[in-house]
Amino acid sequence: MEKVTISLGSRSYTIVISSGLCNDISFWPLISGDRVMIVTNETLSSMYLGKILTLMKKSKIKVDYVILPDGEKYKNIKTVDRIIGSLLQKSHGRDTILIAFGGGVIGDITGFAAAIYQRGIRFIQIPTSLLAQVDSSVGGKTGVNHILGKNMIGAFYQPTSVIVDTDFLCSLPAREFSSGLAEIIKYGIALDSSFFQWIEQNLDLLMVLEKHALVYCIRKCCELKASLVSNDEHDIGYRSLLNLGHTFGHAIEAFMGYGKWLHGEAISVGIVMAVRIAERFVQFKSEHSNRIINLLQRANLPIQGPTEMTANNYLSYMIRDKKTVSNQLRLVIPLSIGVSEIRDNIPNQLIIDAISEC
């Protein structure tokens, strides 16, 4: 079992990473004797909820659950209201622990519900998608989408623990697995060249769900994220480096309608756009661009945006993204593989050219 700590003073917590954890009867009593409400979706509940409820009940945990429809399009304020309604109907108080059991969508919605229910109750993340295991379950960004922009309603609110069981990945559809790989590749490009090289060498093992490779890779991503989050919880400095590709990607997700393009797919195209800017703006080497594009393609990720989107379509969404300061776009661009920087002085035409090229 691997452990990574997020150091945030009294809000510190541990991420536990292993295979087979949630099937282990000795694991569940660690959730303590408080009341628990599991939040999950229809897909995951049909596969796993019965088994989990049995194990929890054997451990004498008082558990309720709420099952949401599956999909990014339900990541909205109405769904949060539904969770709050369930909590109230079942008379849950401030001692209840919410458990987010699902991918990033369930994690983001549940975390936000936990942040605002009775001014804040505890929550635990049990991420089941690769993307959630390497990224979204860690760091305390919670929230939902607004029709005018992604993640526009939310709060920074840390979980009390994160439990990563790689066995859940066995049922994850291949396209979703690739979406998670986009975030993994992002960590390498933005922060760590030797990890990027490790991904190049071990991608095939990851794609056949080899346990040791998976646990190492997830731990590495969590460690990289932990170091940024511990120093910049509210994303005003270096944590923003994790937004590599995201300003473009969020524009694709919002323009296409949430859920049509997977988050990681949109981020993959966004990374290529950031690379194209870097080639023109900071002389990013073309051999590095080729390595990145090659790796994204090996991971079955797109490198070209939706044909129906024009550069202006991108810009209109990008300007609304949270990364703008006084309407000036702030973008993360790689300087070389493993080193990146936030820039707010990129000429608009250069951004338009990079978008048009993809």
Ligand X SMILES: NC(=O)c1ccc[n+]([C@@H]2O[C@H](COP(=O)([O-])OP(=O)(O)OC[C@H]3O[C@@H](n4cnc5c(N)ncnc54)[C@H](O)[C@@H]3O)[C@@H](O)[C@H]2O)c1
Q: Is 131 in the site for ligand X (CB under 6 A)?
A: yes
Q: Quick one: DSSP state of residue 344?
A: S
Contact in structure between 277 and 350 (CB atoms under 8 Å):
yes
Provide the angle, in degrees to the nearest 10, between the axes of the packed helices 174-191 and 211-231.
50
- The distance of closest approach from Cβ of residue 95 to ligand X in the complex, given in angstroms and rounded to an integer, is 25
> Which tokens sit at 8?
């945030």
Q: Is 141 in the site for ligand X (CB under 6 A)?
A: yes
Decide: helix, strand or coil at residue 285: coil
Nearer to ligand X, 310 or 324 (CB): 324
Find the binder of ligand X among 21, 61, 97, 106 (CB under 6 A): 106
* 70 labeled part of a ligand binding site: yes
- The distance of closest approach from Cβ of residue 130 to ligand X in the complex, given in angstroms and rounded to an integer, is 8
Nearer to ligand X, 133 or 313 (CB): 133
Nearer to ligand X, 23 or 201 (CB): 23
* 67 labeled part of a ligand binding site: no
Q: Which of 126, 129, 16 is nearest to 6 (CA)?
A: 16
Q: Is 6 in the site for ligand X (CB under 6 A)?
A: no
Q: Is 172 in the site for ligand X (CB under 6 A)?
A: yes
Q: What angle do CA 115, 120, 126 make, to 5 degrees?
A: 60
- Torsion angle defined by CA atoms of residues 207, 213, 215 and 217, in that order, rounded to the nearest 10 degrees: -80
Q: Is 132 in the site for ligand X (CB under 6 A)?
A: yes
The span from the CA of 23 to the CA of 117, in Å, is: 30
* 341 labeled part of a ligand binding site: no
Q: Which of 142, 165, 168, 135 is nearest to 80 (CA)?
A: 142
Chain centroid to CA 60? 32
* 339 labeled part of a ligand binding site: no
Q: Is 43 in the site for ligand X (CB under 6 A)?
A: yes
- The distance of closest approach from Cβ of residue 175 to ligand X in the complex, given in angstroms and rounded to an integer, is 9
Number of residues this chain uses to bind ligand X (CB under 6 A): 27
Find the binder of ligand X among 110, 136, 160, 178 (CB under 6 A): 136
Q: How far apart are the first and last CA of the chain?
A: 41
Q: Check residue 208 and give left, alpha or beta (phi > 0: left; psi -120 to 50: alpha).
A: alpha
The span from the CA of 113 to the CA of 107, in Å, is: 10
Site for ligand X in 230-289 (CB under 6 A): 263
Q: Is 219 in the site for ligand X (CB under 6 A)?
A: no
Find the binder of ligand X among 96, 125, 161, 179 (CB under 6 A): 179
Phi, psi values for residue 138, rounded to 5°: -110, 135
* 128 labeled part of a ligand binding site: yes
Nearer to ligand X, 181 or 346 (CB): 181
Residues making contact with ligand X (CB under 6 A): 41, 43-44, 70, 72, 75, 102-106, 108, 128-129, 131-132, 135-136, 139, 141, 151, 168, 171-172, 176, 179, 263
Specify binding-site residues.
70-75, 104-108, 128-129, 141, 150, 183, 246, 263
